[in-house]
Amino acid sequence: MAAAVIAILSAMQNRVLTPVDRFLSGLDNALRTVAAPAGRAARANPAAGVADAALTDSQKAHAAGLMRVNHAGEIAAQGLYQGHAAVARDAAVERQMQQAANEEHDHLAWCEERLAELESHPSRLSPIWYAGSFAIGAASGLLGDRWSLGFIAETEKQVCAHLASHLDNLPDADAKSRAIVAQMREEEQKHGADATAAGAAELPPAIHRLMRWTASVMTKSAYWI
């Protein structure tokens, strides 16, 4: 009996996913990402042991706006990585995308937890951020894994710059938000480096500019909505 169970589990692990399997998995992830709380992160929140300082109303509102932008960015990251993974041709690239998506989910949960502590809420435009990013990820992935990795590398480069600006703009007293953003930036740098090491293609300058413009629209909208 035990041998039969082991054989079944082994077969499940080695099963090759069909396009329908990938679609259903992506749909499930989309619904869990935008229609439900992020839930408990797999890893401890980096702000768990940090004291929550008293912030003025304006400081709290500003910190909440920035953390809402970060949360929206993590929603988009889920869509981007899942879109790439859905069409990845190399199994190793698919695993790399899925591992990054898992770490990004922790970021999502940490940001959501901090927003609740700041008595605020995630962006109400989350479905748009996810759907748009999933489409971009899948479209770039259809061009081939090198281009898919190229989008990841450039995205993470821009995200790191964006997180660095948040560390400059968060209230000095808001050590909890700062701890979360600092950990996120460190891991985003790793995701970008991993994509480059895996063979990311260099994107044309026009694509860089379009990505920066798109990110600007999202950050300005998510801060308020």
Q: What's 19-224's CATH class?
A: mainly alpha
- Which pLDDT score is estimated for 37? 53
Q: What is the mean pLDDT of the segment spanning 61-82? A: 89
Q: Is pLDDT at 5 greater than 70 in this prediction?
A: no
Q: What is the pLDDT of residues 185-215, one digit of tens each?
A: 999 998 889 889 888 888 888 988 888 898 8
- The number of CA neighbours under 13 Å toward the Cβ of 71 is 32
Q: What is the pLDDT of residues 85-132, one digit of tens each?
A: 777 777 777 777 777 777 788 898 899 999 999 999 999 998 888 888
Q: With bands split at pLDDT 50, 70 and 90, how would you rate the model's confidence at 80?
A: confident
Q: With bands split at pLDDT 50, 70 and 90, how would you rate the model's confidence at 224?
A: very high
At residue 176, what are phi and psi to the nearest 5 degrees?
A: -65, -50
Among 129, 135, 119, 118, residue whose Cα is nearest residue 170:
118
Q: Is pLDDT at 22 greater than 80 in this prediction?
A: no
Gap between the Cα atoms of 181 and 162, Å rounded: 10
User: What are the angstrom distances between the C-alpha of 191 and each of 77, 195, 196?
Assistant: 11, 6, 9
Q: Is pLDDT at 19 greater than 60 in this prediction?
A: no
- Which pLDDT score is estimated for 136? 82
- Which pLDDT score is estimated for 147? 86
Please provide the average confidence, as pLDDT, over all residues in the chain: 81
Residue 39 corresponds to which amino acid?
Answer: G
Identify the weakest region by mean pLDDT among 41-45, 93-97, 138-142. Answer: 93-97
152 touches 199 (CB < 8 A): no
134 touches 128 (CB < 8 A): no
- pTM equals 0.79
Domain ranges of the chain: 19-224
Q: Is pLDDT at 38 greater than 60 in this prediction?
A: no
